[in-house]
Structure 1
């Protein structure tokens, strides 16, 4: 990833709070998200690249990447949804990735 990109964008997540969820704790702990971000920061700094973290409060999953319509409630178990604004079927993770990239390009990242 470091050798193929000039800017890396990730979402800052509240890992400590998320681990308190008994249904997600093991999966999140096993993923080693904090260590992954730490390694990205180190490698990006070493290579002179920019690592941007988009705020955890940015509604990356709930905001339609096509029309900008925001869904008020989207449970974590719901991986796919249809936008009420444009009717587009949306994959939660792909949608979030597009919104994080757009937020970075628009300068909304913090």
Structure 2
């Protein structure tokens, strides 16, 4: 009788371990499928992000600013910078020589 109970408990433990192993394998497979779908969605979103960034760079780059301004009927203004309030540099060694200013507008 004792051997029969021991054999029955051994078979019950064996069957329970097999069923639990199958159950956990099914759960792992379901989680793996969800993970793979998330990975594919992530890759698709990264591709969409890079395409959007590329479109942004193409439309708002510095080389394309002239075309954008022409399409919005803007015109380029001429720039004339004249500095009238120039100050002598503080480390000028010879005070007798006039300061020559290089830039727009001449003397």
TM over 0.5: no
The structure richer in strand per residue is 1
Using CA pairs below 8 Å that are at least 6 residues apart, which structure has the higher relative contact order?
Answer: 1
- Which structure has the larger Rg? 2
Higher relative helix content: 2
